[in-house]
Amino acid sequence: MSEKNIRFVFKWSLIVKGVLALFETIVGFLAYFATQEFLINTVATLTKDELSEDPKDFISNYLLHAAQGLSVNSQHFAAFYLVSHGVIKLWLITGLLRKKLWYYPTSLIVFGFFIVYQLIRFTSTHSIWLLLITVLDLVVIALTWHEYKYLRKTFGPKN
């Protein structure tokens, strides 16, 4: 893969991660203020068609079961996690897109902590979403490290 293509993929992975972080932040705010009844009704509405076609649909059943079993404390924790995680990622991604060198090592450390936390959470939740987010984070870390080395070599340490 050429350097130009790697840098293109890096930029687009940051944009995708930024969109996900913005979505995370919005969902976090909504989750904090939403009632459990609203969450259950929303998930039921979203999964209704799929469950009518296939009552054993794994994802739809998983989402419905998760919404029904969500306590208020779990909901508030999830809301806090989503908002803080989303805001931190947006801040880091903004710095990376602006090519500020000190954001690169900071991002590598923070994304690394997110991965460790996600893997710990995975051991108790077995959520496929945590694995998918972790894979995206690993790709972004590898691309961030590559971009950091490229920028240091190209522009020197004063950026």
Structure confidence at residue 86 (pLDDT): 93
Q: Work out the end-to-end distance of the chain between its first and last CA atoms, rounded to an integer number of angstroms.
A: 26
- pTM metric for this prediction: 0.74
Distance, C-alpha 140 to centroid of its chain: 11
Q: Which stretches of the chain score pLDDT less than 70?
A: 157-159
CA distance 151 to 125: 39
Structure confidence at residue 18 (pLDDT): 93
Spell out the residues 6+ positions from residue 79 whose beta carbon is closer than 8 angstroms to its own. 28, 29, 31, 32
Domain boundaries, the chain: 3-155
Residue 146 tokens, joined: 């590559």
Structure confidence at residue 141 (pLDDT): 94
